[in-house]
Structure 1
Amino acid sequence: MRIALVGPVHPYKGGGARHTTELAHRLAAEGHDVVVESWRAQYPAALYPGSQTIGEPEGALYPRTRRDLAWYRPDGWYRTGRRLGREADLVVLTVFSPVQVPPYLGMLAGIGRAARTVALCHNVLPHERGRAGADAALTRLLLNRVDTVLTHSPEQKALAARLRTRGRPDVRMAEMPPHLPEAVRPAAAPDGVRGRLLFFGFVRPYKGVDVLLRALAAGPPGIGLTVAGEFWGGSDALRALADELGVADRVEWREGYVPAAGLPALFAACDAVVLPYRSATATQNVWLAHEYGLPVIATRVGTLPDHVADGVDGLLCDPDDPAGLARAIADCYAPGRLRRLRAGVRPVDPEDHWKRYLETLTG
């Protein structure tokens, strides 16, 4: 099959770019004729604080990649769609934000009925619902123009189905498969107790770092926390909260994108990864922690309970519950508990995940 993937790849950073790239490689390995249509300018700078790109790639690049799309060139959206309609049997539009809807509608106008179209929704709607009505209206327009919608959790599938207004499209669900950065793993599994937890990833309100700070204050004394990642809107409010709670001296702030080469040292310095999300669709961070031998303390949202076996390779608690999270942290540091959790950690085997994902996407 001739397949065109429309989405970010290097020099764009993070999980979205890695997913698009890995998906292209995997589809090509299955014998499909695959091209990636990427962006030279994906979002206006005002909508994405910080740098959108990185210098060094974090994995093997996909060679058949074009970078002609730009958010400020609507004339190119339709023209690209016309070309994809001629060149592809299947066009996959990767969806991260309603901001992408106008370019995608322009492309879909150019494609017409010449190719089957899929909206691959990393997020059906944004986690932060500041413009809930406008976001839902835009997303509904897109979902009703494609043939198929692919989501990454049952909750997201139900949300996409509710946004349909015409009895179509076909809505499917497949768990997001592993697409971890290529980094050197530590020489040996961690041992001993470091007395430090790790939050890793883009810091946004829905990820609950404020809940984690409150849990840190209520949990075992002397436990430290490293918060590593980019901050959406800055770190001032969270730093002020740490001061107010009296835990500022226990929190290390590692602001900025962490490249793949920096991951081994970051994970080796901590005992466990904490994911205190208020809501979630899918995340790679459980699998990433397990790749480095670390158990995960996570909330029961999204696909996190599917990835963390409570009491085996991590601990689960309810979202938006500082007291419950504090109890989980105390449990992690109970005598012998950390050693047993580490013993239960196994790196993920990606092959079955990818097999199911590709079958759902192309079937």
Structure 2
Amino acid sequence: MTATHLVVGPARHGVVSFALNLATSLRGVDGATNVVRLDHWRDLDDTVRLCHGVHLNFTDRLYGATPADAAHRVVALIRDVEATGSRVTVTLHDVPQPSDGGNYAQRVEAYRAVCAAVHGLVTNSDHERSLLEESRIADPADVVVIPLPLDVADAPPRPSVVGDRSVGVFGFVYPGKGHDEVLAAMAGMPSSVGFVAVGEPSAGHDDLVDSLAKTAERDGRRFSVTGYVADDALAGVLHEVTVPVAHHRHVSASGSINTWIAAGRRPLVSVNRYTVEHAERHPGTVTPYPDTASGLRGALDYAMAHPDSTWIAAGTVSGSPTHVTAQRYARALARWHD
């Protein structure tokens, strides 16, 4: 029995991109894969009457105005699907953790309600599964870990180091992503070294861009935000950055890190439970540094002086290429939806 992949949310959202890419990769393993695509959670109320099983990728912001609203809507969907004699399975994203701040307790309750209702759970890292256990959201024995797909291409030609140098952070601009810490850590670098945010501001966070611009201006440093970059142009933009950094300290599983790597770059990453797991699974794809201000400054200085260290070496391989991830999902979905 083939699960229908229900994909909800704006096309540029990372979880939506993941869900659509997953469905595409599963077609190469299982053949026909059904996809129902909705741009907004409001469309769920009148649209969803699905059979043959459903798999969805859940993060609360894609399914409701509040975590409680999202959980209520998804649990109602599960009950509707169950009424047809079918099942719902879920890949969880943005798993709650205490660094969420005031929203943490609400998000925990929402994820707990969804996990209690579904028939199969996936996380994309052991770290996320541990977060579920630590917040008493779900029993880790009920969770299947399927790492994010990562394809390491042949190393691209490396651009000349002559010319303007820059430090870059990739992904939506929002608090906690690390843009402000990285810019602050550049204070000791020559002002000729620019800072580039590759991506666009997350909704409601244009003020962070203004703050970053003022900080850069005080240092006499070039600052730019690229805005949304189309997939076919992204690798070229990431190649132009001298030093790639992923300083999202509270990440649970990172598509941003994988995007740098897929472009042939070896980003600097702060040491945390997820990046340690990533480095063990994909040796040679990231450069970890201690999660301190001095650790970040030292890593930036070294990478700027040794730009070759920011590129993936020839022969580096992935521990979870796309076809392997698809096979793992196919086995889990077949077991749950049979």
Q: Residue 222 and residue 315 in structure 1: after superposition, are their counterparts in 2 closer, same or farther (change >3 A)?
A: farther
Q: Which residue of 1 aligns with 2:205?
A: 234
RMSD: 3.4
**Cα displacement string for residues 182-240 of structure 1 (whole angstroms, at most 9, x for unaligned residues):** xxx99733332542121110112221211111111144664221112222333434543
1:259 has 2:222 as partner: no
In 1, distance between residues paired with 2:295 and 2:139?
Answer: 42
Q: Which residue of 2 aligns with 1:95?
A: 58
Contact 2:216 2:223 in 1 (8 A): no
Higher helix share: 2
1:27 has 2:5 as partner: no
**Matched residues, number:** 320
1:216 has 2:215 as partner: no
Greater CA drift, 129-138 or 155-164: 155-164
What secondary structure is seen at the aligned counterpart in 2 of 1:172? strand
Contact 1:197 1:226 in 2 (8 A): yes
- Of the three residues 134, 138, 143, the one matched with 2:115 is 143
Identity over the aligned pairs, expressed in percent? 20
Higher strand share: 1
- Of the three residues 184, 188, 191, the one matched with 2:160 is 191
Q: Residue 134 and residue 179 in structure 1: after superposition, are their counterparts in 2 closer, same or farther (change >3 A)?
A: farther
Q: Residue 267 and residue 255 in structure 1: after superposition, are their counterparts in 2 closer, same or farther (change >3 A)?
A: closer
1:225 has 2:201 as partner: no
In 1, distance between residues paired with 2:132 and 2:264?
Answer: 35
Q: Which residue of 1 aligns with 2:15?
A: 16
**Cα displacement string for residues 88-141 of structure 1 (whole angstroms, at most 9, x for unaligned residues):** 1x3212101235322211111212262232121012227633322222222211
Q: Which residue of 2 aligns with 1:281?
A: 252
Unaligned runs of 5+ in 2: 61-66
In 1, distance between residues paired with 2:287 and 2:189?
Answer: 15
Q: Which residue of 2 aligns with 1:111?
A: 81
In 2, distance between residues paired with 1:132 and 1:177?
Answer: 28
Give the AA of the match of 1:176: L
In 1, distance between residues paired with 2:238 and 2:25?
Answer: 28
In 1, distance between residues paired with 2:220 and 2:114?
Answer: 47
What secondary structure is seen at the aligned counterpart in 2 of 1:129? helix
* Structure 1 segments (4+ residues) deviating >6 Å: 165-169
What secondary structure is seen at the aligned counterpart in 1 of 2:117? coil
Contact 2:92 2:123 in 1 (8 A): yes
Unaligned runs of 5+ in 1: 43-68
Contact 2:124 2:145 in 1 (8 A): yes
In 1, distance between residues paired with 2:303 and 2:134?
Answer: 39
Give the AA of the match of 1:23: L
Compute the TM-score of the two structures, normalised by the length of structure 2. 0.80
In 1, distance between residues paired with 2:296 and 2:138?
Answer: 43
Compute the displacement of 1:324 (Å).
Answer: 1.1
Give the AA of the match of 1:139: Y
